Amino acid sequence: MASMVPAELPERRRRGPVSPLLRALAIAAVGCAASSLLIAANAVAIPCRDQECGPAVTESDSTLVARQIGQHVLTTGAPGGVQYRLEINDLIEDDAQWSLFVQALAAMQADDQSDVVSYFQIAGIHGAPYVRWDGSGSTSPPSGSWPGYCQHGNVLFPSWHRPYVALFEQEIQVRAVAISRTYTGDRAAHFQAAARALRLPFWDWASEIVPPRQVIADTQVTYTASDGSRRQMANPLYQYRFHPIDRNFDSPYNTFPITVRHPTGSGSGVQSDVDALRRRLSSQQSDVRSKTYATLTRVHTWASFSNRAGTGSGPPSDAPANSIEAIHDGIHNDVGGSGQMSNPSVAAFDPLFFLHHANVDRVIALWEALNAGVWVVPGSSGGGSWTIPPRTEVDTNTDLTPFRASQSAYWHSSQVTPTERFGYRYADFRGLNMSDRDGVRQAIARRVNQLYGPNRNARRQLNEDEIKDSDFNVTALLDPNAPAFGPDAPSFTDPTDPAAPANSTSPALPASDNSTTYDYTVRLQAAQNALNGSYDILVFLGPVPVSAEDYRFSPSYMGSHGIWTSAFMNGSNATSQGFVHLDDAIERQGLGGAEPEVVSAFLEENLDWRIVKVTGEDVPVEQVPSLKVLAISTPVQSVAGDELPEYGEPKALPEVTAGKPGGETSNTL
């Protein structure tokens, strides 16, 4: 790992005044090959088409003038009125917006890394390279603080990331608008309108966890050029290439010239393993979807919804369901493997980071609609940040540095809701009267049920053909003496596989009227810094495979809780809390309607867990003494129609975990 943060760090360079001569030279330099990028003075870098790129492509006059006179960057959101953020698969289907988006992203990535609004600099706000951005804060962070600006493990996690994503979005749109002006003929007006409406796409991992190939697999991307022809260029979503790599990054990232996901190789030869990424994400689909549904339907307080601290360093959860941050953390580990996304210091350099965070923000917006009037409450700053000392109180009026609402003031949490403040809305809200809170709540409840609810929930169904061709049977899953599954064990079908029954429903949420059943959940708590880096706690019901490589592909695998951290995150006493839901597996064993005592006995015999680092290394549970695993049951009253289920009082089941390494013995929730 690189040496610790120096006492005083350099400030990121801002563009100085640009002379008319330099501007003219920049404009004259635009003609270039189709895949080249212009990086000159204050001109926005764009991929050029043929030998002529059309009219001068520069930033908006107001932005240009502000930077020439040395003013700070304002986070305003993208101009052009309130427009919809689209799911990435839908954006790809819109050729004009897709073409503009990938060109704008490529342009932003090609900007000089010292430019304050370059891809490198905006990504670097989150963590490394640990320097002051745009004059926000002192020349070094408070003693003992996390040296990035991002807020994690505290009540500001949702509200801080909203203007962060909005800043990235506005810089993408500035470039897209400029690029659209190079389109000519009949397509000019269409592409210019598309640019004005363009917003950052979100990746709905709860609905379709494996992103399209255009995001994670294609090294080249196809787009419509200004002359109407179809062209290809290096895919800016596949990876970001550092120019140059910052040697002060944490090891091994200080040797990686590109961002990678589930990397193979090392140093300059490192590459992403796309197949490994797809397999990992597919194994998580049911877990992530059930977590998202439970969070949206069961959690109703800001303290429980906003962050992962849980009972370890914050108030108790109001329900056995995940915070939005806990779900977010797991996705980071799932995407990264040992690549950048699994380390908070460098995660934001991966282009998928911003699509991921757009969806995090979307889930926050959905939750806001279901819990109108509930927003940021006072809490501890946890490990702190570049501008906020650790373990101090933060609240709705805390500055969300470094994001400025004006030249003299930063945004506050009280000001960043609703999303329309930053010029966007999610497609889930299309056609709704936003002033009708009850109507919006009913519509979003219906939407949540449709996307993630019991009749849509991804099922980890056993593939009957695989079972037929193997020695596996359901009885073996119930036998605690059954041998552990090896590499030839049958797998569950992919959640989107036609073999999975389309009409399957969750036992806790049956599609009947006013029936009461029980939900079963495992709560997982462990210290953030237990292993000096990110790791996952995996939950099983049944025999556990011998090899860690097979864990996630075993029929007994239920889900995981991701601990997402960095050696630079100094909240040494911070606890991360997460939940894994067991209802699908319990129903598969024919215990969906069984009495709690019967299910408890089944869980006591079959519930198990393992710890794995993001590098793939299996860690003995005893090496994480802070681990606490507790089973919980909750009565559930299902309701007819589109309303959300009603949950009763949760009950701890310490008898399930007592006596096992890491097992909780207390019945206190």
Q: What CATH number has the domain bearing residue 286?
A: 1.10.1280.10
* pLDDT above 90 (res 6): no
Our measurement of the distance from residue 26's CA atom to the centroid of its chain's CA atoms, rounded to an integer in Å, reads 37
| Cα separation, 577 vs 525, whole angstroms | 5
Whole-angstrom distance, CA of residue 527 vs CA of residue 575: 4
Each residue's pLDDT tens digit, 613-651: 999 999 999 999 999 999 999 999 877 777 899 999 999
Q: 210 and 265 share a domain?
A: yes
The mean pLDDT of 77-99, rounded to a whole number, is 97
R_g over Cα of the chain: 25
Q: How far apart are CA 444 and CA 571, in angstroms?
A: 36
Number of domains in the chain: 2
Pick the more confident residue, 492 or 363.
363
Structural domain containing residue 267: 20-66+76-371+386-430
Do 102 and 211 lie in one domain? The reply is: yes
Please report whether residue 669 resides in a domain: no
* Residues 425-445, mean pLDDT to the nearest whole number: 97
Q: Does one domain contain both 343 and 469? A: no
| pLDDT, tens only, 183-227 | 999 999 999 999 999 999 999 999 999 999 999 999 999 999 999
Q: Do 285 and 365 belong together in one domain?
A: yes
Task: Give percent above pLDDT 70 in the chain.
Answer: 79
Average pLDDT over residues 396-411: 97
Give the model confidence (pLDDT) of 291-340 as tens digits: 999 999 999 999 999 999 864 444 456 789 999 999 999 999 999 999 99
DSSP per position, 51-79: T---S--B--HHHHHHHHTTPPPB----S
Task: Let me know: does 126 contact 164? Beta carbons within 8 Å.
Answer: yes
Domain-embedded: residue 440: no
- Residue 143 counted as domain residue: yes
Q: Over 60: is that where the pLDDT of 67 sits?
A: no
Q: Is residue 484 part of a domain?
A: yes
Q: Do 419 and 486 sit in the same domain of this protein?
A: no
CA–CA distance from 65 to each of 12, 15, 60, 169, 171 (Å)?
Answer: 19, 11, 9, 20, 16
Do 392 and 250 lie in one domain? The reply is: yes
107 and 171 Cβ atoms separated by less than 8 Å: no
- What is the C-alpha separation between 28 and 504, in angstroms, rounded? 62
Distance between CA 15 and CA 624 in Å, rounded? 48
Whose CA is closest to 554, among 484, 478, 638, 603?
Answer: 484
CA angle centred on 376, ends 372 and 378, rounded to 5°: 140
pLDDT over 50 at 43, yes or no: no
Q: Please give the Cα distance from 106 to 240 (Å, whole number).
A: 9
Considering the domain architecture, whether residues 211 and 327 belong to the same structural domain is answered as yes
Say if 445 falls within a structural domain: no
Distances in whole angstroms, Cα of residue 517 to Cα of each of 338, 573, 593, 650: 40, 37, 7, 13
DSSP H or E segment with residue 540: strand 535-541
Positive or negative torsion for Cα 614, 615, 620, 622 = negative
Within this chain, do residues 105 and 218 fall inside the same structural domain, yes or no?
A: yes
Same domain for 324 and 393? yes
Q: Is residue 298 part of a domain?
A: yes
Sorting pLDDT into bands at 50, 70 and 90, what band is 456?
low
Residue 145 lies in a domain: yes
Report if residue 10 sits inside a domain. Answer: no
User: What is the Cα–Cα distance from 230 to 24, expressed in whole angstroms?
Assistant: 30
User: What pLDDT does residue 375 have?
Assistant: 97
Residues 170 and 303 in one domain: yes
257 and 138 part of one domain:
yes
Both 538 and 415 in a single domain?
A: no
Contact present, 131 and 249 (Cβ < 8 Å): no
